Structure 1
Amino acid sequence: MASKKKRIFLVLFALLVIGGVLFWVLHRPKAATNVVTIYGNIDIRQVQAAFHDDGRVQALLVQEGDRVHKGQLLAELDPVRFQDAVARDKALVAAQEQILARLLAGSRPEEIAEARAQVAAAQASLANAEITYKRQESLAAEQYVPKQNVDNAAASLKTARANLEHSQQALTLAIKGPRKEDIAAARAQLAADRAALALAERQLQDTKLYAPENGVVQDRIVEPGDMVSPSTPIFTLALDNPVWARAYLPEKALGKVRPGMRAEISSDSFPGKRFKGWIGFISPTAEFTPKSVETTELRTELMYRVRVYACNPQHELRLGMPVTVRIDLQHNTPQNLPQHPCAASDGEQ
């Protein structure tokens, strides 16, 4: 009987110990982790390259899959119409320059001399008209000539005086030269013609399409001979350096991760290799919301979209590739990165 009670006691004691151990394991404080691990896929930027003006495509110089660098010539429009416009505007500028130069130079000495000669001729005509009028008036008083002759002589005298006044004004204008308002108008017209020429030259340059950034030709949309407009894309370029991982951060880690913190990206395609990255964007709104009103437990299930950038000089990270992102929380102060941090570093290890 004593032995049976002892066995029961031992069994109860063992159950009590096991229960205590399980309770401690399940309710012990969890150690704070220093690394946040999230998962996502690689995404890239795209550029729709197009011409600035309407025209017919003359040449396409790259194919789908070609890697291009910033400033590389990609395509050309037929330039004939634009070349003609440049030639026309150059001629207009040259003509207006001559007009302005003529106004600035003023009257030539020969023109002033001619005006003086006309004044002298008008003075001689006036003197002769005065003599004729006096003679006709005397003869009419003696009734040797009809009254009509006197009237004709008087009209000729008035005409001679008017011609002299006209010649004197013409001489004054020749000496003073062009009006300042005419010179200002000529300058303004020349400026307008030069602006039109600059626009025509810019449009001629825009018949060549250059790559805006380094990237890969993803789509070739048109063919030589097609008519295109500024709204017609010619190529789709994939800008794959840097790339970013589109991942989701749980609400529990939201207060630990901030833009500018360093991160590492790894992929199953490159076992053991990690690409250096940085947190570029954290969405201000939750992506996954189970209900409109969350309990304390459901609030911890909210997810926030994160964009983790990574340099990709060898173009190993490709669109859609699944990746793992590790964010070390120790000694990871957010930094202000330059606009193109991959330009000065290879970005991987």
Structure 2
Amino acid sequence: MKKKILTPVVIIVVIASVAWGTWEWLGSQKDPGSALTLYGNIEIRDARLAFTEQEIVSEVTVNEGDTVVAGQVLARLKSQRLHDQLKEAQAQLEAQSQIVHRLVNGTRAQEIRQFRAELEAAGVRLKNAEKNARRLESTAASGASSQQVLDDAHAAVEIERAQLNVRRQAYNLAVEGPRSEDIAEARARLEANRAHLAYLNTRLEETVLKSPSAGIIQSRILEPGEMAGPTRPAFVLALTDPKWVRAYVSEPDLGRVKEGVNAKVSSDSWPDKKFSGQVGFISSIAEFTPKSVETTDLRTKLVYEVRIWVDDPNNQLRLGMPVTVEFETETATPTSRPDSTRKTAAH
């Protein structure tokens, strides 16, 4: 009785084994120019956005799941202290600007006339001192005045002569105007004030956190009242572009895939739609098939990672979504993606 039961089972097993072997042999003998199908998952990059300023968060304008565009305001910091510093810097800039303006314009005509008058007055005082000294010389010879008085008169003449020289130099400087070195120094200080003002304006702009590109807010980390800083991300932004499929190609099919080859990507969520794609990266290192990858080959075979960039302007494909990639290796027309994009794919 047992032998009668076992015989049909053995026959079924043998037929199944022969069918499996035949299917495997037919698969290995497929036309190398036929369509190649790969299976993979959608992947995207995310960016952790943080403030460069360390300050209290005053406002958050988006929530998790919100779709944002490049340049959209996401959050703001308190900025009163920076506004006060800006006012001070603007006042210092204006003061230094007036200094440069004064030096460049030189001495005013009224000041030159004043220095000339002082020079003439010094000359008159010198002449008077010289006359007084000559009178004392004649009286000292007859004994009418002392030698001390004469010495004082001579000293007064020297003092007035020195004062005349001082006034003459002051008048010449007024006529010549400021030194070029002083003007250059004043202009350098003015540029330093401008640079400091620009720096404060930059810091003020950075109290507003904007989205660097289009994407979806994946995580909202900081809330109003919390302290933000360069080391504390405020949001995690899932970028909608670039978007690619991470798939794996077996070693026998590696020669049928080239960078730049066009492909069609389909998903169970959108069965009637084909997304345009393009091979952007092929790994040069072999690896064993990861457990999460769908493949019809045995898992012990070596495979190579392939990334297919996908055009998804309506953002229909989601992170981790399983997709199918199909392309004709014989009729595909390679068109290279931008170098910057391809370099990004290698990381």
- Please tell me the TM-score bracket, short chain as reference: 0.7 to 0.9
The equivalent residue for 1:166 is 166
- 1:43–1:319 CA contact under 8 A, matched in 2: yes
Kindly state the Cα deviation for residue 339 of structure 1 after the two structures are TM-superposed.
7.8
In structure 2, the CA distance between the partners of 1:117 and 1:212, relative to structure 1 (3 Å rule), is: same
The equivalent residue for 2:257 is 257
- 1:242–1:312 CA contact under 8 A, matched in 2: no
The equivalent residue for 2:211 is 211
The equivalent residue for 2:63 is 63
Kindly state the Cα deviation for residue 336 of structure 1 after the two structures are TM-superposed.
2.2
* Structure 2: runs of 5 or more not aligned: 1-20, 290-297, 342-347
Whether 1:147 aligns to 2:123 is no
Could you say what secondary structure the match of 1:284 adopts? coil
The equivalent residue for 1:247 is 247
Aligned counterparts of 1:109 and 1:240: Cα–Cα separation in 2: 69
The equivalent residue for 2:9 is none
Whether 1:186 aligns to 2:193 is no
- 2:280–2:337 CA contact under 8 A, matched in 1: no
- 1:39–1:322 CA contact under 8 A, matched in 2: yes
Could you say what secondary structure the match of 1:314 adopts? coil
The equivalent residue for 2:320 is 320
The two structures have a TM-score, normalised by structure 1, of 0.84
Aligned counterparts of 2:283 and 2:26: Cα–Cα separation in 1: 33
Aligned counterparts of 1:28 and 1:204: Cα–Cα separation in 2: 64
Aligned counterparts of 1:252 and 1:60: Cα–Cα separation in 2: 53
Kindly state the Cα deviation for residue 310 of structure 1 after the two structures are TM-superposed.
1.0
The percentage of aligned residue pairs carrying the same residue is 44
In structure 2, the CA distance between the partners of 1:233 and 1:192, relative to structure 1 (3 Å rule), is: same
1:21-78: per-residue Cα shift (whole Å, max 9, x none)?
Answer: x99x969992424222121111111111122222111100000000111111111111
In structure 2, the CA distance between the partners of 1:326 and 1:258, relative to structure 1 (3 Å rule), is: same
The equivalent residue for 1:271 is 271
Could you say what secondary structure the match of 2:263 adopts? strand
In structure 2, the CA distance between the partners of 1:227 and 1:29, relative to structure 1 (3 Å rule), is: closer
- 1:66–1:216 CA contact under 8 A, matched in 2: yes
The two structures have a TM-score, normalised by structure 2, of 0.84
The equivalent residue for 1:75 is 75
Whose radius of gyration is greater, 1 or 2?
1
Where does structure 1 differ by over 4 angstroms across 4 or more consecutive aligned residues? 25-29, 338-341
Aligned counterparts of 2:233 and 2:25: Cα–Cα separation in 1: 60
Aligned counterparts of 2:100 and 2:236: Cα–Cα separation in 1: 49
Could you say what secondary structure the match of 1:101 adopts? helix
Kindly state the Cα deviation for residue 337 of structure 1 after the two structures are TM-superposed.
3.1
Partner letter of residue 41 of structure 2?
N
Partner letter of residue 35 of structure 2?
V
The equivalent residue for 1:85 is 85
Supply the RMSD in Å over aligned alpha carbons: 2.5
Could you say what secondary structure the match of 1:254 adopts? helix
- 2:54–2:229 CA contact under 8 A, matched in 1: yes
1:179-222: per-residue Cα shift (whole Å, max 9, x none)?
Answer: 11111111111111111111111111111111111110000011
The equivalent residue for 1:32 is 31
In structure 2, the CA distance between the partners of 1:80 and 1:142, relative to structure 1 (3 Å rule), is: same
In structure 2, the CA distance between the partners of 1:27 and 1:321, relative to structure 1 (3 Å rule), is: closer
Could you say what secondary structure the match of 2:172 adopts? helix
Aligned counterparts of 2:165 and 2:340: Cα–Cα separation in 1: 78
1:160-182: per-residue Cα shift (whole Å, max 9, x none)?
Answer: 10000001111100101101111
Aligned counterparts of 2:190 and 2:205: Cα–Cα separation in 1: 23
Partner letter of residue 204 of structure 2?
L
The equivalent residue for 1:49 is 49
* Structure 1: runs of 5 or more not aligned: 1-21, 290-297, 342-349
Partner letter of residue 175 of structure 1?
V
